[in-house]
Structure 1
Amino acid sequence: MSEIYKNRHAAFNLHVHLIFITKYRKKVLGEVHHNYFHECVAEICKKFDAELKECNGEADHIHILIQYPPTVQLSRLVNNLKSVTSRRMRGEFLDLRGAYSKPVLWSRSYFAGSCGGASLEVIKHYIQNQQG
């Protein structure tokens, strides 16, 4: 059974799987970058009352799993994560600053997928069998 989170007005279990891709899919991220990214994202999530559950990736992209409350606007969280991590990482690592002619790190696009809980078929079946 998944953990149910609660605040004053809601009970929830919301998770999102995010993927951030480096600009032009350049293979610029190493282990030290991933570790620093993990620290930054965990700190940012706390400010949104969210929690970083998992974070890993490769040289040109990073996967993130975040649990968040229903009061968080997902697009705001994503924009904050991308802008803050880009700024901090480019400030911390000269190799990232030198990889691009402009002050960028992430591609404008990203993947966001909801995850956790029951499958869509189970939920559809449950709703269809409710008494009206």
Structure 2
Amino acid sequence: MTKLRSGAHSVFSIHLHVVFVTKYRRQVLTQEMIRDCQEVFDRVLEVNQSKLLECNGEPDHLHLLLDIHPNNNISDLIGSLKSASSRVLRRKYPSEISRFYWGKSAKLWHDSKCIVSCGGASLDTVKRYIQEQSGGRE
């Protein structure tokens, strides 16, 4: 069963599977860096009334499962997560990161992102439910 959250004027359940890939798919991330990213993500998401449900990855990418508040602009939220994590990792691991990326303006994360909505019901189930409402299409 989907657990709903509520705000002042809404009830919602918005879950996103997000993938961040390192620039040029460089194998830069360590397990310690991934743990540090989790802490950064937790802080950024809390400020935005959202939650990090899961986070893990490999040396060249991270997977995040987010529970977001509907007041958020997804693109802006993802940008905040990327910029904050990049800033913290560059500050904490300068020698490790400089082996892969040069210069202060070099990006850690690739500009692209993968965002997949996910929830408790399949699209077919939701479509059928909507069709079964009075006035729905055949």
> TM-score w.r.t. structure 2 length?
0.92
- Structure with the larger strand share: 1
Q: Residue deviations 1:51-103, cap 9 Å, x none?
A: 00000000000000010111111001001111111111111102113420133
CA distance in 1, matches of 2:65, 2:27: 22
Count of residues in Structure 1 that have an aligned counterpart in Structure 2: 132
Instruction: State how far apart, in whole Å, the 1-side matches of 2:98 and 2:119 are.
Output: 36
Measured on the aligned residues, the alpha-carbon RMSD in Å equals 0.9
CA apart distance, 1:105: 0.5
Is 2:70 the counterpart of 1:74? no
Aligned-partner SS, 1:106: coil
Aligned position for 1:24? 24
Residue 17 of structure 1 aligns to which amino acid in structure 2?
Answer: H
Question: Aligned residue for 1:106?
Answer: 109
Partner of 1:50: 50
Structure 2 alignment gaps of length 5 or more: none
Structure 1 CA distance, aligned partners of 2:8 and 2:31? 40
Counterpart in 2 of 1:13?
13
Q: Which runs of structure 1 show a deviation greater than 3 angstroms over 4 or more consecutive aligned residues?
A: none
Q: Distance in 1 between matches of 2:60 and 2:3?
A: 32
Q: Which 5+ residue runs of structure 1 have no aligned equivalent?
A: none
**Cα offset, 1:129, TM superposition:** 1.0
- Taking structure 1 as the reference length, what is the TM-score of the superposition? 0.96
Q: Whole-Å Cα distance in 2 between the matches of residues 71 and 104 of structure 1?
A: 28
- In 2, are the aligned partners of 1:25 and 1:60 still within 8 Å (CA)? yes
Partner residue, 1:97: 98
